[in-house]
Amino acid sequence: MKTLDDPDVKLPEPKRRELAHVVEVIQAGFARAIRHRTMERFRNGKLLKVILFGSYARGDWVEDPIGRYFSDYDILVVVDHEDLTEVAEFWAATEERLLGDLTEGKVLRTPVSLIYHSLDDVNEKLRLGRYFFMDILSDGIFLFDEPGHSFAEPKRLLPGEALQETRHFFEEWFESASKFKRASDFLIQDCAPKEAVFNLHQATERLYHCVFLVRTLYSPKTHNLNRLRALTEQLEPDLRSVWPNENRLQKRAYNLLREAYIKARYSRDYEISGDELAWLSERVSILRELVRQVGIDRLTSLEQLDR
């Protein structure tokens, strides 16, 4: 794996300064999170690695003000045990700090998408041949690396093994997403908008997880649609067309979908109009058909390799 000092890394100096700031925020946030813990496994927790992956690591990031698409910094944070990957407990303040810095626009002008895993978990995924982590090993850039904690040797899956796992993931997750979409259709007709939009959120989340699993045999542990969407659209750029952002209804409706996981269930103040709900239902149907084609294309390519 490369470091920022590697001559093949072509990141501009402003991006390097931003990434240095991101690492400082991650380190400081982690130190604060464990400082006053009484349980030994928390108090002695270690931050082992911070790795840049995705488009900025590969060198194909996008900054398109006209089309309003900007690549995120995709960051893998590796800690020494699984208990430390709990987002709300250990990382929420860090994510809020980075979002605040992005909003202020002085030290950070690029969105940051963080995922968290223990070293044992990453190594297990490598031994199982999960493409996502194998690609990180191949293309990723160390921003921080604690010595003495190596990654396992990855296993290459045989075509038949990859086909079997991919088919299982596609059938399970696509059908699960379809059930939530059908439930939402029923709830719209039953005049239950909050329940309907929650089910649309669940359908959307599962469709994004489906793409990730079909393409990489892995999916990040998150209910955050923005994070799932950003990561998935890197794998399948055609999915960027699903959510136009051209007028007030489109912007508000997508934000309502994004917030529905919590607010549609628990907030009395959460409201969604019939037009917004209808637009979201239409867009989720479009996403579903695109994801169906992604799955079919992936299975077809694996079947050809397995012949």
Domains annotated on the chain, with CATH: 2-145 (3.30.460), 159-305 (1.20.120.330)
For 269, other C-beta atoms within 10 Å of its C-beta total 5
- What stretch of H or E contains 294? helix 274-305
Q: Tens digit of pLDDT per residue, the chain (307 long)?
A: 899 999 999 999 999 999 999 999 999 999 999 987 777 777 789 999 999 999 999 999 988 777 677 889 999 999 999 999 988 888 999 999 999 999 999 999 999 999 999 999 999 999 999 999 999 999 999 999 999 999 999 998 999 999 999 999 999 999 999 999 999 999 999 999 999 999 999 999 999 999 999 999 999 888 889 989 988 998 999 999 999 999 999 999 999 999 999 999 999 999 999 999 999 999 999 999 999 999 999 999 999 998 7
**Partners of 63 in the β-ladder:** 70
Per DSSP, 237 falls in state G
Q: What tokens were used for 186? A: 């029923």
pTM, two decimal places: 0.86
- The CA–CA distances, whole Å, from 114 to 2, 25, 91, 104, 181 equal 19, 12, 9, 19, 28
Identify which of 147, 151, 153, 154 has the alpha carbon closest to the alpha carbon of residue 47. 147
Phi, psi of 239 (to 5 degrees): -70, -15
The SS3 call for residue 272 is: coil
